Amino acid sequence: MNADVIGIWKEHQTDSGSSYLRDNAFQNDWSLWADHSLIPPKTRKRIILLGESVARGYFFDPYYNPAMVLQTLLDTNCDEEFEITDLAKTDLRLVELRDLFRESLKLDPDAIILFAGNNWITDLYMSIDEKDAENIIISLNGKSINGIRNFLEDRIKNLIHEALAEFDYLSKENKVKLFFIIPEYNLADWLEYEDHFSSFHLTEDKISDWKKVIGQVERQKESKNVLKVLDLAEKLIAIDPGNSYGYYLAGKCYRKLGKTEDALFFFRQARDWTIILKSIGKPKILSVIHDAIISAAQQTDISIINLSQIFKANTEDYIPDKNIFLDYCHLNARGIQIAMSYTAQKIISILKEKIIPLQNLINLSKETGPDKKVEAKAHAFAAIHNAHYGQKYDIVLYHCQQAILADCQITAFLKEYAELATLKAPNLICKQYENIIKNWGERQYGGLNHQKNKKLMDIILVKAIIKSIKHEYPNFEQYIKMLRSDQHAVNNFGKINLLESPYALPHYKFFLGKRVQFFEELASTSSFFLVVSKIIPVKLTIIYRIPDAISNYENVRLRVNNREISTFSAVSTWKKTELVISTEYLLAGVNILTIQWPVHLRHSVLNINSTIDDIADFINPCFGQIHEFYASC
C-alpha cells in the first residue's frame, strides 16, 4: 500500500488538511475511476462508495451515477450532514477492492458502502495456478461435472469470507459503519449460453441424445408451444445437468407460463453453471458469490442491501431483465434510483436512527435525472455493448429505440456509428469516429474504439439502427448496402480473407487459458459473413482440422444462409478443401456461412503432468480449427 495514495489520487497538504489530487502518473487509468480530480479535506460526515462499474453507473457516468443520486437523497433528508466520496472503479477486482478499502481509511470515513461482486469470478480464475492442478484433477474424479463446480465454488467462498472478515475487522477498528450492496444480474435478457457444449463428462449415448434434442429445439424455435419446448428443456437438463442452455430454455418457458419463482430458479441455474466455462462471459454475480457475501456478513456488523430482494419487492412478477438493466449487470436509471433509495433508507436508519418511507425516497430519486441526452446516449451505448457481446437483435433494437425515445437527436449518433462500423478501416482514424467524439463525446462509454485488429462489422447492430432511424433517414439502408459492398464485397476485391475480424467475429469472445493464434472454435458452430454485391459463383478455400478427430466422427457441415451446401470429412490434421457456392445460394448483401462441427465424445485424458491449460482444454475442448478461409471470385 502506497502511503500517500488512494487509488489514483495522491495526497497534498493544504491549510485545511489533507486533500487528494488525481495524479498524472496514473493518467492512463483515470477513465476507469470515478471522474473527479480532487478529494477535498473532510468537512462533513464522510461516506465512501467503493465498487465496480455498476457502482460507477456505467453508461451514464460521469453525468449521472449512484453516488450523485445517493448524495441528493441524503442531502434532502439529513440536512446535508453527509458527503459521498465516490471511489468506484470499472473492472475493480476483489484483490484491488481490499487494497482500496485499506487506502480509503486515510480519508477518515464515517461509513463505507461496498457495491461489488460482479468481477469476483475473475479473482477466482486468477487465483488458480499450477499448484491447483492436482486438486482439480482429483475433484473431477474422472469425469464429475459437480466435482469441478464444487472446487471452484469452495475457492471463491474462501476468498469472499477472507475479504469480508478483513473489511469487518478494519471497519470496527476504525469505527466505520459498513454497508454492502449485493448486485443483481440480468437473468432474463442477457444470453450467453447458446452453443456452449462440454462433453467430457458425458457418454456417447448421452451425446447422441443431446444432439437429437437440440435438433428438436431448433425446430421448435418459432413454435408457440411453450410446453413442448419446456419438455425439451427438461430433457436437455436431464442429459447434461452441467449445461446452462437447458436451464435457460426452461426459465424462458416458465416465464411465459407466468411461473415466476420457477423461472427465477432456472435462470439462476443457467447463470451459475457458467462457472465451469472456458469462455469468460461478462461479469456476473453468481449464486455462490451472493450467498457467500450474505453468509460472511452474518458473522459481522456489515449491513446488507440485497438488490435481488429489493427489485423483487418493487416489481410485479419480478424477473431481472431489460426493465432494470442496460446489459448483464449495469443498471438503467430506474435501477439506479431504486437501488440508491433503499441504500439511503438503510444508511439513514442506521446512522440517523430514523426511518424515511421508501416511496418518498423513490419519488425523490426520480427527480435526480438523468438528463434526456445522457439517457439517450446510455441506451445507444448499451445497444453497442449488447451487440458487441453477442446479444440478439431484439434486445439491441430495444436499446436503440429507447435511446430515440429519450432524445430523438440521438439518431444522428446512431447513423454515424452504423457508418463507422461498416467501414473496414480501424475506427481510430475514421472521420465518423472523429465526428462522434466531437459531437457526443466518449466519456460515458469507453467501448467505441474496437480492440486491436478486431474491428467488427456489427451486422445485427447496424440492422437495428437502420430500423430505428428509418423514419428520419429512409434511404439509409440503401446507403449502408452500398457502403458495405464498397468495403467488403468479394467481387470488388477478388479475394477476401474470411478469418479477418469483420467476417469471422460476429461479436467479441474471451477465453481462459492459452489460445492459439489461428481460428479456434469452442462452440459447436462457427459463423462467417460473406458480402457479395453481384450474384456470381464464389469459391471458398478452407484449411481446417479437428484436433482429436477419429474415424467415426461425423462430417463437418457447411451451410450458406441456412442451406447446407457441402460436408467435409472430420480430420485431425490440416486439410485443404475447395468448393464453389453457386448463385442460387447467395444473396446480394451479407450472406452467413455456418460451419457445424461434429459433436462427439472427446478422447483426451488428464494425467499427473496435466497443466491448468490442459484441464481447461479438457473441460472445454475446441470443436474445430481453421488455418485459412478465403472467398474468391
Burial of residue 605 (CB within 10 Å: 0-12, 13-18, 19+) is exposed
Q: Given its phi and psi angles, is residue 264 left (phi above 0), alpha (psi -120 to 50 degrees) or beta?
A: alpha
By C-beta, is 239 or 421 nearer to other proteins?
421
Please report whether residue 550 would count as binding other proteins according to CB under 8 A: no
Contacts to other proteins from residues 216-245, by CB under 8 A: none
Q: Which of 26, 575, 594, 598 binds other proteins (CB under 8 A)?
A: 575
Q: How far apart are CA 623 and CA 546, in angstroms?
A: 6
* Strand residues in 420-516 grouped as ranges (E): 495-497
Which residues make Cβ contacts (< 8 Å) with residue 335, sequence separation at least 6?
311, 324, 325
Please report whether residue 35 would count as binding other proteins according to CB under 8 A: no
Q: Which region among 50-58, 254-262, 392-400, 620-628 touches other proteins (by CB under 8 A)?
A: 620-628
By C-beta, is 256 or 424 nearer to other proteins?
424
Q: How far apart are CA 503 and CA 529, in angstroms?
A: 5
Alpha-carbon separation of residue 513 from 71, 95, 180, 521, 601 (angstroms): 42, 20, 32, 14, 22
Least distance to other proteins, CB of residue 456, Å: 15
Least distance to other proteins, CB of residue 497, Å: 8
Please report whether residue 169 would count as binding other proteins according to CB under 8 A: no
The full 3-state SS of 319-366, as one line of letters, equals CCCCCCECCCCCECHHHHHHHHHHHHHHHHHHHHCCCCCHHHHHHHHH
The rounded Cα 523 to chain-centroid distance in angstroms is 18
Return the exposure string of 296-316: e unless at least 16 CB atoms fall within 10 Å of the residue's CB, then b: bbeebebbbbbbbebbbebee
Please report whether residue 25 would count as binding other proteins according to CB under 8 A: no
By C-beta, is 1 or 437 nearer to other proteins?
437
Contacts to other proteins from residues 90-149, by CB under 8 A: none
Least distance to other proteins, CB of residue 450, Å: 11
Q: Which of 10, 102, 259, 424 binds other proteins (CB under 8 A)?
A: 424
Phi–psi pair at 450, nearest 5 degrees: -85, 170
Q: Which of 433, 529, 553, 618 binds other proteins (CB under 8 A)?
A: 433
Q: Which of 1, 437, 587, 588 binds other proteins (CB under 8 A)?
A: 437
The strand order across the sheet containing 17-22 reads: 5-6, 9-14, 17-22, 38-39
By C-beta, is 219 or 534 nearer to other proteins?
534
Burial of residue 401 (CB within 10 Å: 0-12, 13-18, 19+) is middle
Least distance to other proteins, CB of residue 198, Å: 21
Q: Which of 430, 459, 460, 480 binds other proteins (CB under 8 A)?
A: 430
Please report whether residue 574 would count as binding other proteins according to CB under 8 A: yes
Please report whether residue 607 would count as binding other proteins according to CB under 8 A: no
Q: How many residues bind other proteins (CB under 8 A)?
A: 28
Least distance to other proteins, CB of residue 437, Å: 6
Q: Is the peptide bond before 320 cis (omega within 30 degrees of 0)?
A: no
Q: Which of 423, 530, 612, 619 binds other proteins (CB under 8 A)?
A: 423
Q: How far apart are CA 585 and CA 564, in angstroms?
A: 9
Q: Which of 316, 429, 551, 562 binds other proteins (CB under 8 A)?
A: 429
| Binding interface with other proteins (CB under 8 A) | 423-426, 428-431, 433-434, 437-438, 449, 486-487, 493, 514, 516-518, 543, 573-576, 625, 627-628
